[in-house]
Amino acid sequence: MAKVYEVVKVFGTVGSPFAKRVQIALELKGVQYTFFEEDLRNKSELLLKYNPIHKKVPVLVHNEKALVESLVILEYIDEVWGSDQPILPQQPYHKALARFWSKFIDDKYMPAITKAAFSANKEEREKGSEETVEALEHLENELKDKFFGGESIGVVDIAAGHIAFWLPAIEEAVGLKLLTSDKFPKLHKWGHEYTNHPAVKKNLPQRERLVAFFKARYASIITASK
């Protein structure tokens, strides 16, 4: 049964992998919250109030105190809502490593897959594919257990959720083949374990809608480039 921890709000979109990080972390902690669905083409006054600098999701509001940037929010959630199921390691070295790999995903993998899937230029897409594979190779080598966090989900797993769920949808939508089971057996198995974890599964968007969204995005980019 979920615990009640005062007033918690999450501003996001259904398909945002960054907002889903926050929702999954709260789910793992058993924290009740209210989700506010944002239309990023017509941003609400509340979103602009709570995130006036970046004006984007996700935003976590805890007792009217707002936090932005998903990785920052994950650390806050872990510190505020107890150690029943920690998502960051307690040992300083391992905690620093977890921060490094989480940031690696945002700084290296995310831009690479965006370039690979949604660049108008063919050469840029090929370069993006190479960079994506390189990033995946590093993560494949880093994955030593059932999860990046060991036998339970940790912050790196949550940060890497895009690889487990959004990447296969992108591959289907635009015709890429990057995360293959023969090249990345550990990541492939991890992705299955991660997306079938109860706290994750109940918070994932509908795959069909996600594929349709990526198909439309890809088509509009290709059409505009002609």
Output the pLDDT for position 3: 52
- Higher local confidence (pLDDT), 171 or 225: 171
- pLDDT digit string (tens) for 9-67? 999 999 999 999 999 999 999 999 999 999 999 999 999 999 999 999 999 999 999 99
Q: Which CATH number fits domain 92-224: 1.20.1050.10, 3.10.20.600, 1.10.940.10, 3.40.50.720?
A: 1.20.1050.10
Output the pLDDT for position 1: 43
The Cα–Cα gap between 161 and 20 comes to 9
Same fold, 8-80 and 92-224: no
List the chain domain ranges: 8-80, 92-224
Whole-model pTM? 0.95
Share of the chain above pLDDT 70, in %: 97
- pLDDT digit string (tens) for 107-141? 999 999 999 999 999 999 999 999 999 999 999 99
Reply yes or no on whether the pLDDT at 80 is more than 50: yes
Output the pLDDT for position 41: 94
Where does 8-80 sit in CATH, by number? Answer: 3.40.30.10
